[in-house]
Chain A
Amino acid sequence: MTTADLWIALPLILLAVGALLTLLIGAVTRDDTAATAIGVAVTLGAACWLLQTPPLPVAPSLGLSAAGLPRLFSCFFLLLAAGVLCLSSGYNRARGIGGEEYPATVLFATFGMLALASATTLLTLFLGLEAMSFGFYILVAVDLKRATSGETGLKYLLPGALSTAFLAFGIALIYCVSGTLAIHEAVQLTLTSGRPDPIALAGWGCLLAGIAFKLSLAPAHLWTPDVYQGAPAPVVAFLSGGSKGAAILLLLLLLPHAVDASHLRIPLWGVALLSMLVGNLAALLQNRVRRLLAYSSIAQMGYVAVALVSGKGGGYQAAAFYALAYGVISLAAFGAIAVLERQGCGETLDDYRGLGQSKPFASGVLTLALFSLAGIPPTVGFTGKFLIFTSAIRSGEIALAVIGVLLAAISVYYYLKVVITLYSKHTGTADASHPTYPEYSVLILASTAMVLLGLWPDALISLLSHLLP
């Protein structure tokens, strides 16, 4: 192991050490404030480290990459994890979710995301994804006092395990055809121009099916509403922003290397259409806010799939942009929900009635996030959708763009439904509970990012255009 390796692996090492440290802290004190503080410090420290190191393509012996795209996403995952940890401490205390294992698991999951991001071989990719998923299997079921928690955990674990099997098998088939695990060559050899090997195509099919589970793309979306409803709100923010971001990143690490990705066009096209349809239409019928957002997330991933279909016509950049945007929006939306739930708000739409007056801050953030999901300018959601539709039209996917736009218009109805409920006539009594300072800071940062990236996306877009074809 050389110094260069160490430099690149340092964020991973930091995370692992931090996770172990939080576990050890538990032996000394049962107060999880210290554990959370260590978690936040470690994630922010690792993010700072990543920001200041120059981009290096590959670490010689570890097979870890520190190129631009992995670094960008790693930073994003780390900041997201820090935000989630900040939100969790108050929420967990109110819910009675205790212990140092929570921050430790968040750090382990983040470790997985970073490993995935910096992978240069299919094996590391798979291991990273698995490490991340393992963390989430625990996190979604961490609220042991809730009766539905076990059900939620199982509903995430079983499809998750199945998707892992698909992924592993897909990678095996791709390896079988290409004879290499290195991402670049494996993709190039299996997605060639001309007639591809049927076994390779089967491998890619399995891989896509596995990823579809992670991204909750229809028809592999069935776990989403239950998990979004049952898991603790900060975990949902992490799952929605981080895990899906990682799954999109996985595709972005693979697909751009393809000589000819058109063999995957038809399955992606179908999945995109189906996800937009199922997500948007099913969300219309929901009267629980989290379920509504779960279906909305299925629809949003459909838009990402539209970008992936568009591919090299700016589609990969749009997908990356939207992955980051959706992460920020998820953090804001579920962060706001976490704050509201911590203060005693229920989960049905009726429980949200009049919160705009009694809890103006969290409701304001949630409203902004909902407008962003709906793609209303000047939020990042609008810019993301704009990029996606531009890439779709540029690659000639006009039918998909028109359907997507019309469904986006429909989607506005259910987002507005929540907003209206928030700002309808207030019936209950106003209570004086305020968000805590960590909650304030996370939500303010996420809101600022939503607006700033909406108004001045230039830096991010040009960065992505250097990193992706």
Chain B
Amino acid sequence: MNQFPFLTLLLFLPLAGAFLLLTMTGREKLARSTALTIAVAETVLACSAWFCQGNSSARGYFLFEDRPWIETLGIRYTVGMDGITLLLVTLTALVTVIAMLVSWRSITERVALHFLLILAMESGIMGVFLSLDLFLFYLFWELMLIPMFFLISIWGHDRNIYSAVKFFLYTLVGSLLMLLAIIGVYLIHGEQSGIYSFGLAALTGTRFSPATGLLLYGAFLLAFAVKFPLVPLHTWLPDAHTDAPTAGSVILAGLLLKTGAYGLIRFGYPLFPEAARTLSPLLIGLAVAGIIYASWIAFAQKDMKRLVAYSSIGHMGFVALGIAVWTPVALSGALLQMVNHGLTTTALFALVGMLDERAHTRQIEDYGGLWGKIPLFSAFFVLFAMASAGLPGLNNFVGEFLILTGSFKSAHLATALAFIGVILPLVYTVRLVQEVIFQEERRPLPMADISSRELFILAFLALADLYIGLHPAPLLEILKAPVALLTGGVP
């Protein structure tokens, strides 16, 4: 398996597919089915990586590729896969397929371009998760912005252009400062060791003076915090989500938000252990503030997509908390929660998208009485709403539980406050379900129950939610080794 460039294939198959789709402008059906075929093939590839786990070689990466790239600058093409990456890569592949399926009918203009962008984005996100060279990582980090920018600005609704630009600028300011920090780390390491390299393995263990370390880590943290998003850097997210097409929201919430957390885990903490420890109270504070604030704001939302967007911020706050305390249990919980949030939020955005497709409104007050009219849809709606609210037996509960258990020891107050964040979502979700599903019908809206395509999406996500909720042990098992490796240095 080591000889075959498996990861490269995984990384560039979607991009190759995107180029293939360039030739299919105007042929909608062909473009759609080709894109789906490639996305499914990518999923099969990602899933086959599960069988390669045995040969744990370099630093816990069971799949690893390393080739020279820009040698004059010490930049190498280094990609690797460990348990963390495996989970996220699988999630990426699955969510991409779902994103394609949810936009199967709703996109009628420039179909080939739409699916092309989704594929290009998949490559970008895969790259972020797989890169072990800071330059390569940064390349993909920026690369994934461009397709999303176009997805929002071309197929979005309402104030799509405003939202697309806001999204782009917010993330870019953060990442450009990170670029400077990356260069800084590269130069400092080069001066210390005489070897100029962007490789994560080489750069880990570079010594920084406290002030420099804080400054550099601060730049990294800023870039990741925007992606998370942590309050107060979150304001791009509700706009971007609301105005994005369904596929855009699904990818944004399901995958893009995870890249910030992933970056912090893979690069932020290992590169700057001391600075990260110094700033962890700040991160904990922001996380808890985000959990409570976002849930509070979610109460006031009238637009379902905005509500789900704010709930996302809250859930990602838990992930941030889990990372900030940096204990094995909390970190496993955070990683699991990233997957959970990916699945549940994807489902919720898909559900809202389906409603929007039928009735062309996302306002909560327009709906009501769906239980009687479209029972199957409503059942799924209730299920995913409950999963999002953290009902035991469903996936989010497991993640939140682990995070809170893991963080209580080192951060009593923060954990206690975060508990409020467990209760609040329950309240606004129940209100949402009550108003949309169970209340009397307020306006006669054209409603048809879900089609087989939609049933497939929802049933699949529901099964995944249930599986993780009831039996998370296999996933936790996969995370065990890399998490132990990461937290080894921190008591």
Contacts and interface: CB of A to CB of B under 8 A. Distances in A.
B26 to A, nearest CB: 11
Interface string A456-467: 111001100100
Interface string A382-394: 1000100110011
Contacts of A382: 139, 142
Interface string A435-467: 000000000000000000000111001100100
B164 A377 contact: no
A360 B23 CA distance: 12
B146 A393 contact: no
B137 to A, nearest CB: 11
Given A416-B165, A420-B165, A456-B70, A389 B172 contact: no
A465 B72 CA distance: 9
A393 B71 contact: no
B172 A412 contact: yes
28 contacts: A376-B145, A377-B138, A377-B142, A378-B143, A386-B179, A389-B179, A389-B180, A390-B183, A390-B187, A393-B183, A393-B184, A402-B177, A402-B180, A405-B179, A406-B173, A409-B172, A412-B169, A413-B165, A416-B165, A417-B165, A420-B161, A424-B161, A456-B69, A456-B70, A458-B69, A458-B70, A461-B70, A461-B73
A408 interface: yes
A233 B179 CA distance: 34
A382 B138 CA distance: 11
Nearest to B71: A458
Contacts of B165: 413, 416-417, 420
A405 B180 contact: yes
Nearest to A461: B72
Interface in B150-178: 150, 153-154, 161, 164-165, 168-169, 172-173, 176-177
Given A357-B110, A376-B145, A461-B73, 6 more contacts: A377-B138, A378-B143, A389-B183, A405-B176, A406-B173, A420-B153
Interface string A353-388: 000010010000000000100001110001000100
A233 B425 CA distance: 58
Contacts of A360: 25
B33 to A, nearest CB: 22
B149 interface: yes
Q: Which 3 A-B pairs have the closest CB atoms?
A: A409-B173, A377-B139, A405-B176
Contacts of B173: 406, 409
Contacts of B180: 389, 393, 401-402, 405
A412 B154 CA distance: 18
A461 B135 CA distance: 16
Contacts of B164: 420
A423 interface: yes
Contacts, number: 74
Contacts of B142: 376-377, 382
Contacts of B73: 390, 461
Contacts of B139: 377-378, 382
B315 to A, nearest CB: 28
A413 B165 CA distance: 7
Nearest to B70: A458
Contacts of B153: 420, 423-424
A416 B152 CA distance: 13
Interface string B259-275: 00000000000000000
Nearest to A460: B72
A393 B196 CA distance: 14
A406 B176 contact: yes
Interface in B96-151: 110, 138-139, 142-143, 145-146, 149-150
A459 B372 CA distance: 68
Contacts of A401: 180
A374 to B, nearest CB: 9
A376 B146 CA distance: 9
B169 A413 contact: yes
Nearest to A464: B72
B150 A423 contact: yes
Interface in B411-455: none
Contacts of A377: 138-139, 142-143
Interface string A44-61: 000000000000000000
Nearest to A357: B110
Nearest to A390: B183
Nearest to A465: B72
Contacts of A457: 70
B123 to A, nearest CB: 11
A366 to B, nearest CB: 15
Contacts of B154: 423
A70 to B, nearest CB: 22
A417 B162 CA distance: 10
Nearest to B215: A398
Interface string A198-219: 0000000000000000000000
Given A413-B165, A424-B161, A408 B176 contact: yes
Interface in B221-270: none
A390 B143 CA distance: 20
Contacts of B110: 357
Contact of A416 (B69, B149, B179, B184): B149
B146 A458 contact: no
Contacts of B149: 416
B392 to A, nearest CB: 44
A213 B142 CA distance: 34
A169 to B, nearest CB: 39
A405 B181 CA distance: 11
Contacts of B69: 456, 458
Contacts of A417: 165
Contacts of A390: 73, 183, 186-187
Contacts of A462: 71-72
A458 B72 contact: yes
The interface centre, meaning the residue of B146, B153, B165, B176 with most chain A CB atoms within 10 A of its CB, is B176
A386 B176 CA distance: 10
A405 B139 CA distance: 16
Given A394-B187, A416-B168, A462-B72, A409 B176 contact: yes
Nearest to A459: B72
Interface in A251-300: none
A377 B177 CA distance: 15
A44 to B, nearest CB: 29
The interface centre, meaning the residue of A390, A402, A462 with most chain B CB atoms within 10 A of its CB, is A390
A371 B146 contact: yes
Contacts of B161: 420, 424
A457 B70 CA distance: 7
A284 B72 CA distance: 36
Contacts of B168: 412, 416
A450 to B, nearest CB: 14
Nearest to A376: B142
Contacts of A405: 176-177, 179-180
A120 to B, nearest CB: 28
Contacts of A376: 142, 145-146
A292 to B, nearest CB: 15
Contacts of A409: 169, 172-173, 176
A386 B134 CA distance: 13
Interface in B33-50: none
A352 to B, nearest CB: 14
A34 B373 CA distance: 75
Nearest to B177: A405
Nearest to A456: B70
The interface centre, meaning the residue of A378, A405, A424 with most chain B CB atoms within 10 A of its CB, is A405
A456 to B, nearest CB: 7
Contacts of B172: 409, 412
The interface centre, meaning the residue of B138, B139, B153 with most chain A CB atoms within 10 A of its CB, is B139
Contacts of B150: 423
A69 to B, nearest CB: 17
A384 B172 CA distance: 17
A44 B5 CA distance: 40
Interface string B180-196: 10011011000000000
